[in-house]
């Protein structure tokens, strides 16, 4: 069964360091999302890609976060420098397209702890 | 600001009972509605989706949608301890760039054996 892959599954870093997360969506899924989920809250959208283009990054803290999906397939989310408040689960999700109603499939997530 | 509201719980029900989870949303233009289950430390997994007013049943789960009241609910019949999880309500609506999904904060359900 096709799945969204993410790595690493867990990351511990010190504040001011750089971290990067990787996501490989389900093959053929044009839309890719990065969410941040703080404990006890729902997922919050950070960035949405349609193929290689960013269509929504309004909630992405652009002073420290960046995201890319160069070939419209896999994607990387980077944080530099990391801050204590960035500790959260980072979820990647994909769907066939954002232009119609269809299910989002989530990856297993990356649990980030910033010390 | 488009919002999705859920009671954080925890909602505690005995095994075999019906669990009722509720969600309200602010955007009247919302078009589709999803319920996800999330076990502690895991990623969300889709349980059901509903587009039209009324009820939709799938096994022990029933989703109910009332667009006039901007209300969607999930009923879990014959609740099992394995149903203990956080249930996230998600709402899709048209926004710049296509459909945008907004998640509620989730309701924690605890089913007592």
Residue to test with chain A: of B99, B106, B107, most A Cβ within 10 A: B99
For residues A52 and B19, give the distance between their C-alpha atoms in angstroms, rounded to a whole number: 42
DSSP states along A77-94: EEESS--GGG-EEEEEEE
Tens of pLDDT, residue by residue over A40-88, are 899 999 999 999 999 889 899 999 999 999 888 999 999 999 999 999 9
CB spacing of B43 vs A45 below 8 angstroms: no
pLDDT digits (tens, 9 = 90+) for B26-63: 988 888 899 999 999 999 999 999 989 999 999 999 99
pLDDT of residue A17: 97
- Residue A99 pLDDT > 70, yes or no? no
Mean pLDDT for the stretch of residues A21-27: 96
Q: How far apart, in Å, do the first and last CA atoms of chain A sit?
A: 36
* Alpha-carbon gap, residue A44 to A48, rounded angstroms: 11
Residues within 8 A of B (CB atoms), A 13-42 only: 31, 33, 40-42
Integer Cα distance of A61 and B60 in angstroms: 41
Give residue-wise pLDDT tens across range B76-106.
Answer: 999 999 999 999 999 987 765 566 789 999 9
- The DSSP secondary-structure symbol of A39 reads T
Cβ–Cβ below 8 Å for B49 and A103: yes
């Amino acid at each position: 069964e096709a799945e969204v892959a993410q790595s690493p599954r867990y990351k511990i870093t010190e504040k001011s360091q750089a971290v990067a997360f990787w996501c490989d969506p389900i093959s053929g899924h044009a839309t890719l999302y990065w969410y941040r989920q703080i404990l006890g809250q729902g997922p919050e959208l950070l960035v949405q890609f349609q193929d290689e283009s960013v269509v929504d990054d309004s909630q992405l803290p652009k002073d420290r976060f960046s995201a890319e999906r160069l070939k419209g397939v896999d994607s990387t989310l980077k944080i530099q420098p990391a801050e204590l408040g960035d500790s959260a689960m980072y979820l990647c999700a994909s769907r066939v397209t954002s232009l119609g109603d269809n299910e989002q499939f989530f990856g297993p997530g990356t649990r980030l702890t910033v010390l | 600001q488009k919002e999705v509201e859920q009671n954080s719980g925890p909602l505690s029900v005995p095994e075999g009972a019906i669990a009722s989870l509720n969600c309200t949303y602010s955007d009247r233009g919302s078009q589709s509605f999803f319920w996800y289950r999330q076990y502690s430390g895991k990623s969300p997994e889709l349980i059901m989706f509903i587009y039209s007013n009324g009820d939709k049943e799938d096994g022990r789960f029933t989703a109910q949608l009332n667009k006039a009241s901007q209300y969607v609910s999930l009923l879990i019949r014959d609740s099992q301890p394995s149903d203990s999880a956080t249930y996230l309500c998600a709402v899709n609506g048209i926004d710049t760039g296509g459909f945008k999904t907004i998640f509620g904060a989730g309701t924690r359900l605890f089913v007592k054996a």
